[in-house]
Amino acid sequence: MKNGKVTMSDVAKRAGVDISTVSRVLNSSFEKHKYSDKTVAKVRKAVDKLGYHPSLVARSLRTGKTMLLGMVMSDIGNPFFSEMAFHLDGIMGEYGYRLIVCNTNEDPERQEEHIVGMLAHGVDGLIVSPSGKRGLDRIENSDVPLVVIDRPLSNGFSFVGLDNVLAGKMVAQKLKAHNYRRIGVVMPDSKEDLTLQERLDGLKTGLKDEGCILSWKVCIPPTAVAGEESHRAIVNKLKKELDYPDAIVGITNVCTLNIISSLEELDLVWGESLGVVGIDDFTAASIVRPSITVVGQPIKRIAEESFALLLKQIKEDKKKLKKETVLVEPVWHCRKSLPVR
Amino acid sequence: MKNGKVTMSDVAKRAGVDISTVSRVLNSSFEKHKYSDKTVAKVRKAVDKLGYHPSLVARSLRTGKTMLLGMVMSDIGNPFFSEMAFHLDGIMGEYGYRLIVCNTNEDPERQEEHIVGMLAHGVDGLIVSPSGKRGLDRIENSDVPLVVIDRPLSNGFSFVGLDNVLAGKMVAQKLKAHNYRRIGVVMPDSKEDLTLQERLDGLKTGLKDEGCILSWKVCIPPTAVAGEESHRAIVNKLKKELDYPDAIVGITNVCTLNIISSLEELDLVWGESLGVVGIDDFTAASIVRPSITVVGQPIKRIAEESFALLLKQIKEDKKKLKKETVLVEPVWHCRKSLPVR
DNA sequence: AACAAACATACAATCGTTTGTTTAAGAAGC
DNA sequence: GCTTCTTAAACAAACGATTGTATGTTTGTT
C-alpha cells in the first residue's frame, strides 16, 4: 500500500475478507467456491477504490506462466521482422500475451545469450528467426515451446516459412506468361542457406517446364546489404554478354536491389528494355520508378501460423506434439518491372 | 528439479550447503559474508552440473526489479521506431535490461491498455511515443520512471526529441547557402501537433534572417501516409502559380513524399528545375532518383539519451528528480535534390 | 587458558499471488 | 434436538529467489 503499490492483501483488509477470497472473486473461479453477492460486491468496491492491479510477477511465480512470448530476431531493422512483430503483437494481444523482443544482429553468440535470458525470464514460448543453431538446444532441453521462422533449420523444430520452391516456380510461370524466354538470375553465393537453393531449384524446374532458358547465373557475396562488389559483378556480366536476357531474376531482395543499381549504371530502364522480377519484397521495390514486381512473403499469415503453432504447443502442454512445418504460399506484388511483352 | 526446472534449492542440496549460501555466492555479495574457496567451488560445480539458471520471476518478486523496460510505440512499422528499438535493445542490453515492446497503432485506447499491462508486468521503466495523453497519468501515479519521445506532451514528462525549431532554421540556412531564394512549403494541416508549428517557425525566421522569401504554403490532410488528396492539392498549387519557386520544403516526411509524387506527375525533375528538401528522413528518400536531401533525426542519439534519462530516474530512484527535456540536434542527409545552383 | 573478534555458514522471513484443505455456520432431515 | 449436508469464508502452504539475523567455528590476543 505504501510505496504506491497496492497489493491483494490491502484489498482484502479494506474489504474485510480473506486474501484468498479476493483472489477467487477476481479470477471468477467459482467452481468449488461460491461467494455471496455481498462479499463479491465488497471486494469489487475495494478493488476500485484502491485502484488495485494484480502483480503479474507474483502470479507468474505461483502459476508458472508469465504470459510473455519472446521473439528472437536476427535483424530488427529489417521491415520483414518489424512487420512480423507488428502482427504478432496484435494477434497475441488478443490472447493476453505480451511480446518481448530482442535482436541478435545475426550474431550467434548474442542469439544464445538472448535465448538464455528469455528462458530465465520465464517466457511461455519463443519465436526465433535463427542465425545459426546456437542456443536452440537450450530451448529444446527446457520445455518451452518453440517455433522457428524464416529460415528452416535441419533439426526438426516446428517451422513456419515461405514455400521457396513454389516461389521459384511462380516466378518461372509469370515469366512465361509475360513472354520472357531468356532469363538471367542473380543469387548470393552461400552453400549453407538451403532456402536459396530451393528457390533456385523451383525456378530452374519451372523454367524448364515452361520452355524457357536459363541464360546465365551470377553469384554475389552473401551480404545483408547491397554492395559495390556485387554491383560490379552484375555490371561485368551484362557487359560481357553479347545480348541481354529478356529478364533478370533476383533470388533475394538484396540481389534485386543490386540488379537495379547495376541497370541504372548501364542506363538501362527495367520494364522496358528488359524485365526484372525478384523473390522477397523490400521497401524500395514499390518506390523506385519503374516499381519492381516481386513475389513476397505473406507476413501476416506467417505471424498467424507461428502463433497458432506456439499456442497449440502451450495448450497441449507437452512438446510431445510432433513438430510441424507450415509452408506458406508466396504472394505476388505485381508492379511495373515485368510488363507483358 | 523435476519438470525440467532446476531451482536454487536443488543446487544447495547437491552442493550440501544452504540455499542462502548459493544465492550469495552466485551474486558475489561477499561484503558481509565471506565464503571459503571450497564452498564457492562446490556451489559453482553444482550449478554447472545441474545447468542452473536463476528464475528472474522469483528474483523480481523479491527485489521488486524486473529488469524489463517497456517501449510503447505508436507505430512499430515505422522505420523510425524499429530503428529506435534496435538501438535501445543494444544499449540497454549492456546494462542487463530487456525490452518489452508494444504497438498502439495510434489508438489511445490501446495505449492505455498497454500501459496498464506493462505496469502490471512490473517494468522498471517506460519509453513512450505517445498517441495522446491517455494512460500516461497511470504511469505518473505509479512510481515507474517514464521518458516520452518523439512528440512532446504539454504535461511535464521527461522528454527526448528533435529540436524542431533548429531543424527549420537549418533548412533555411542550407537553402540560402545553396542559392535558393523563393521557397514553397508543404505542411500537414494540424493545429494540435506543436512539433509542426515549431518547424515552420524555425523555417520562417530562418528564411527571414537569410533574406529568402516564403513564396507559398500548402496545407495537406494530416494523414500518416501519402495520399491522393494531398497530392492533388500540391499539383493544383503548382499549376496555379505563375512561376515555380526555387525550392519546396516538406515539413514532414509524408509531405516530402507527396511533393515528389506531385512533381513526378508534372514531369518536373527535382534537383534540376527546382530543389526539394525535407524535414525527417524516410526510406524512400535515399532510393528515389534523384535522392532527396533531408534533415533527419539522430535516432541512435535519441535512443541513448532516452535510456540515460530513464536510467538516471531508476538509479536516483524517486521521481523527485525534476523532469528533463533533451532536444537533439538534427543531422543532415545531403543527397541530390538540393544541389548548389 | 580464557575471551573476544573475525569468519563461515545456516535459519527464517519476505515478496504477492494461487489453491488445496480446514473451519464455522445455517439449512435440512429424521 | 441432534446429526448431516451444504455453503461461505478463512487458513496456510507453496512458487523461487534475496537478505537480515543468528549460530557455530576458527583464529588471535594476552
Grid cell digits, residue A215: 541464360
**Which chain B residues are within 8 Å of A101, Cβ to Cβ?**
85, 89, 99-101
At B1, the pLDDT band (50, 70, 90 cuts) reads low
The pLDDT value recorded for residue A296 is: 97
**CA B22 – CA B28 distance, rounded (Å):** 10
Q: Which nucleotides of D are covered by protein (CB under 7 A)?
A: 7-12, 14-21
The pLDDT value recorded for residue A289 is: 84
Task: Express as a percent the part of chain B with pLDDT over 70.
Answer: 97
At B63, the pLDDT band (50, 70, 90 cuts) reads very high
Residues 46-75 of B with CB under 7 A from strand C: 58, 61-62, 64
**DSSP for A90-127?**
HHHHTTT-EEEEEE-TT-HHHHHHHHHHHHHTT-SEEE
pLDDT at A2 over 70: no
User: How many residue pairs from chains A and B have C-beta atoms closer than 8 A?
Assistant: 128
Answer for A34: CB within 7 Å of strand D.
yes
Chain A: closest CA distance from residue B21 (Å) = 21
Sign for the CA dihedral angle at A264, A259, A286, A75 comes to: negative
Answer for B8: CB within 7 Å of strand D.
yes
Cβ pair B102, B69 in contact under 8 A: no
Residues 6+ apart with CB under 8 A from B327: B161, B162, B163, B166
Q: How far is the CA of B227 from the C1' of C29 (A)?
A: 79
The pLDDT value recorded for residue B265 is: 87
**CA B295 – CA B278 distance, rounded (Å):** 6
pLDDT in tens, B202-234: 999 999 999 999 999 999 998 877 888 888 999
pLDDT in tens, A213-266: 999 999 999 887 788 888 899 999 988 876 789 999 999 999 999 999 899 888
pLDDT at B328 over 80: yes
End-to-end CA gap in chain B: 75
**CA A6 – CA A213 distance, rounded (Å):** 72
**Which chain A residues are within 8 Å of B287, Cβ to Cβ?**
283-284, 287-288
On the question of a common fold for B2-54 and B164-297, the answer reads no
The pLDDT value recorded for residue A240 is: 84
Burial B135-164 (b: 16+ CB within 10 A, else e): bbebbeebebbbbbbbbbeeeebbbbbbbb
The pLDDT value recorded for residue B319 is: 57
Q: Please give the torsion angle defined by the CA atoms of residues B195, B197, B199 and B201, in that order, rounded to the nearest 10 degrees.
A: -150
CATH number of the B64-162+300-328 domain: 3.40.50.2300
Q: Which amino acid is at A271?
A: G
At A1, the pLDDT band (50, 70, 90 cuts) reads low
Q: Cα B83 vs. chain centroid, distance in angstroms?
A: 8
Cβ pair A285, A260 in contact under 8 A: no
**CA B70 – CA B85 distance, rounded (Å):** 10
Answer for B23: CB within 7 Å of strand D.
yes
**Which chain A residues are within 8 Å of B122, Cβ to Cβ?**
55-57
**CA B321 – CA A246 distance, rounded (Å):** 67
Domain chopping of chain B, boundaries: 2-54, 64-162+300-328, 164-297
CATH number of the B164-297 domain: 3.40.50.2300
CATH homologous superfamily, domain B2-54: lambda repressor-like DNA-binding domains (1.10.260.40)
The pLDDT value recorded for residue A320 is: 63
**pLDDT mean over B183-202:** 93
Cβ pair B111, B131 in contact under 8 A: yes
| Nearest by CB: B76 against A89, A119, A122 | A89
pLDDT at B31 over 90: no
Cβ pair B235, B117 in contact under 8 A: no
Task: Express as a percent the part of chain B with pLDDT over 90.
Answer: 74
A150-154, B193-197, B215-219, B238-242: segment of lowest average pLDDT: B238-242
Task: Express as a percent the part of chain A with pLDDT over 70.
Answer: 97
Chain A: closest CA distance from residue B265 (Å) = 12
Grid cell digits, residue B163: 529540436
Sequence-ordered strand ranges (E) for B12-155? 68-73, 98-103, 125-128, 146-149
Backbone angles phi, psi at A266, to 5 degrees: -85, 5
Query: Does the domain at residues A65-162+300-328 carry the CATH identifier 3.40.50.2300?
Result: yes
pLDDT in tens, A112-164: 999 999 999 999 999 999 998 999 999 988 889 999 999 888 877 999 999 99
| β-bridge partners, A94 | none
Closest Cα to residue B61, out of A63, A14, A52? A63
- How many angstroms separate the Cα of A238 from the Cα of each of A175, A226, A259, A292, B148? 19, 18, 10, 19, 52
The pLDDT value recorded for residue A317 is: 65
A271-280, A319-328, B62-71, B171-180: segment of lowest average pLDDT: A319-328
Q: SS3 for A293?
A: strand
Grid cell digits, residue A259: 540488379
The residue in chain A having the minimum alpha-carbon distance to the alpha carbon of residue B140 is A4
| Cis peptide leading into residue B290 (ω within 30°) | yes
The pLDDT value recorded for residue A34 is: 84
Answer for B39: CB within 7 Å of strand D.
no
For B277, counting Cβ atoms within 10 Å of its Cβ (0-12 exposed, 13-18 middle, 19+ buried), the class is: buried
